[in-house]
Chains A and B, each alone.
Chain A
């Protein structure tokens, strides 16, 4: 499936939860499948921290350009684009085409940089709703996302209850725990204290060359990666294996006795495979990701807490939701643990909402939501097969 991204320009200012607003912004999006006659088969897919509107399919002439959820979404796949019209949208503040901190602020004529407004999950959902308006879609058959994407799916059901028939919330949580905010803060400090960060104004401007804070981004990504995996899967994949033991040109001792490969006795060289993996992931990420975007998105994660305005009572907060819910968690996910999904289940049960919940016993930690586990993909497939399409559009009662 070859796909092409589109961009929609919004002239009207979008009011933000912070009290600020953003105007004259673009949203980059992709669609897969066809919108049916009564516009009842639209599925919105929300992305997490480092993903984009490129959810599924490939770009013509680009090898390995599969979308980040291509295993889940496409013709004949669990979310079958032969039935559903799927929309992927890049969130504001991100760095894959929608308006973000690397773009020019129309009010000042200068690049936003660190002055880009702080956004919340609710703001993103408002922006996505405007995109649906522009596409002529009133009601979503489903909104779906994992992790931070799951928070957006939940928020959709709260902000626009009449516009969502099903919410599919995967490996997510009703808010971040202190530990989770702490990980985000370490990542942010790594970026902000990188001398190249330049208080967020590191883009080429006023004759100054760009100075990407790659050191900070690398470390931020390394921390993230640790928390996305489980101890088990990390041990299975890397264990205590040494990096150089695999290098063919290294000393004969390492070759002949792999069990007792020689240490380098270096504090700074890559010694263990896990270090090599983390550095590789960090390097790759620092090349393509934007430092200000990382700060903005992790902050949106920290702020998300729909129960906050209800004195922490999640059941009251979810009373607004009328969608049917499917929640999925993964047993070894310690960043968005099953216990957090169960809190959501409980709040939905308290409100007598339709909800199904699966706890997949998978070893892959938080990453599991992006992987192919037949129990997981089979469940999503079965759930979507039951979502009615082609029926008369539901009437909004607002």
Chain B
């Protein structure tokens, strides 16, 4: 997910000059990209020490927090965009954090591995959990504790009253708009309250 094409696909969903909160910002590459190319400002949230350090090295504002404890330190609608890039599937309180995302940001952007991508379906049909470039883990050591699909997220968004403004799949850095639940390894949603 850290390849440039994917980063740019996500960046295109972020309006110029936005104030951005990047939940699970990793090494700060996306925020740094948004700052340099789309005149954005904002903060990253990270739990991992090495990533916090990497953000500081890049000069990206980073707040070390456990997202599962919520976003209480952020005011309602205090950000133009809240990003969840490959973060949601690691959270215990996924739904709560999604609601918090909608509370804190005017726009939410979520990207996560789509378990309904056809190679994953094939693997399951053969009786084995998928191990792919996108999902390189074995079932017993995966950090992805939430296993969901493009179609599943649509339902979760509906359930929480979120308006989906745009959604598509990403595969090999390309946008997939036809049958994304089958044809894309990554699901991307842009939504608002």
Chain A residues close to B by CB (< 8 Å) = 326, 342, 345-346, 349-350, 352, 354-361, 375, 378-379, 382-383, 385-386
Given contacts A375-B49, A378-B53, contact A386 B73 (CB under 8 A): no
Tell me the complex Cα distance, A3–B124, Å: 69
Q: Using CB atoms, name the residue of chain B closest to A383.
A: B56
Binds A, one of B6-14, B57-65, B162-170, B181-189: B57-65
A352 and B64 form a contact (CB under 8 A): no
From A355, A382, A386, contact of B63 by CB (8 A): A355
Contact partners of B34 in chain A: CB under 8 A: none
B98 within 8 A of A: no
Tell me the complex Cα distance, A342–B45, Å: 13
Tell me the complex Cα distance, A355–B52, Å: 12
Task: Identify whether the interface residues of A are mostly helix, strand, loop, or mixed.
Answer: helix
B19 within 8 A of A: yes
From A345, A352, A359, A382, contact of B53 by CB (8 A): A382
Q: How far is the CB of A272 from chain B (nearest CB, A)?
A: 35
Q: Using CB atoms, name the residue of chain A closest to B44.
A: A356
Contact partners of A379 in chain B: CB under 8 A: 52-53, 56
* Most-contacted residue by chain A among B43, B55, B61, B64 (CB, 10 A): B64
Q: How far is the CB of A173 from chain B (nearest CB, A)?
A: 15
Q: Using CB atoms, name the residue of chain B closest to A350.
A: B75
B132 within 8 A of A: no
B64 and A358 form a contact (CB under 8 A): yes
B78 within 8 A of A: yes
Contact partners of A354 in chain B: CB under 8 A: 61
B137 within 8 A of A: no
Task: Identify whether the interface residues of B are mostly helix, strand, loop, or mixed.
Answer: mixed
Given contacts A345-B63, A352-B19, contact A358 B52 (CB under 8 A): yes
Residue tally, chain B, CB below 8 Å to A: 18
From B19, B49, B53, B62, contact of A357 by CB (8 A): B62
Q: How far is the CB of A136 from chain B (nearest CB, A)?
A: 29
Tell me the complex Cα distance, A385–B53, Å: 12
B139 within 8 A of A: no
Q: Using CB atoms, name the residue of chain A closest to B56.
A: A382
Write the B71-84 contact mask toward A (1 if CB under 8 angstroms, else 0).
Answer: 00111001000000
A359 and B64 form a contact (CB under 8 A): yes
Tell me the complex Cα distance, A346–B78, Å: 12
Between A and B, 20 residue pairs with Cβ closer than 8 Å are A326-B56, A345-B63, A345-B73, A346-B73, A349-B63, A349-B74, A349-B75, A356-B61, A356-B62, A357-B64, A358-B52, A358-B64, A359-B64, A359-B65, A360-B49, A375-B53, A379-B52, A379-B56, A386-B56, A386-B59
Tell me the complex Cα distance, A378–B57, Å: 10
Tell me the complex Cα distance, A379–B75, Å: 27
Q: How far is the CB of B80 from chain A (nearest CB, A)?
A: 12
Tell me the complex Cα distance, A300–B128, Å: 65
Tell me the complex Cα distance, A90–B103, Å: 47
Contact partners of A385 in chain B: CB under 8 A: 57
Tell me the complex Cα distance, A345–B61, Å: 11
Q: How far is the CB of A377 from chain B (nearest CB, A)?
A: 11
Tell me the complex Cα distance, A355–B45, Å: 12
Q: How far is the CB of A332 from chain B (nearest CB, A)?
A: 15
Given contacts A342-B73, A349-B73, contact A382 B64 (CB under 8 A): no
Contact partners of B53 in chain A: CB under 8 A: 375, 378-379, 382
Tell me the complex Cα distance, A375–B75, Å: 29
Q: How far is the CB of B2 from chain A (nearest CB, A)?
A: 20
Q: Using CB atoms, name the residue of chain B closest to A324.
A: B61
Tell me the complex Cα distance, A280–B52, Å: 39
Contact partners of B74 in chain A: CB under 8 A: 349
Tell me the complex Cα distance, A385–B55, Å: 13
Tell me the complex Cα distance, A60–B19, Å: 53
Q: How far is the CB of B185 from chain A (nearest CB, A)?
A: 33
Q: Using CB atoms, name the residue of chain B closest to A386.
A: B59
Tell me the complex Cα distance, A385–B52, Å: 15
Q: Which B23-58 residues have C-beta < 8 A from chain A?
A: 43, 49, 52-53, 55-57
Contact partners of B49 in chain A: CB under 8 A: 358, 360-361, 375
Tell me the complex Cα distance, A355–B49, Å: 16
A356 and B73 form a contact (CB under 8 A): no
Tell me the complex Cα distance, A306–B192, Å: 37
Contact partners of A383 in chain B: CB under 8 A: 56
B56 and A356 form a contact (CB under 8 A): yes
Q: How far is the CB of B31 from chain A (nearest CB, A)?
A: 12
Q: Using CB atoms, name the residue of chain A closest to B19.
A: A352
Tell me the complex Cα distance, A350–B57, Å: 24
Contact partners of B62 in chain A: CB under 8 A: 356-358
Tell me the complex Cα distance, A382–B27, Å: 14
Tell me the complex Cα distance, A352–B18, Å: 13
Tell me the complex Cα distance, A151–B27, Å: 30
Contact partners of B63 in chain A: CB under 8 A: 345, 349, 355-357
Given contacts A357-B63, A358-B64, contact A382 B57 (CB under 8 A): yes
Q: Which B77-118 residues have C-beta < 8 A from chain A?
A: 78
Q: How far is the CB of A307 from chain B (nearest CB, A)?
A: 16
Tell me the complex Cα distance, A342–B61, Å: 15
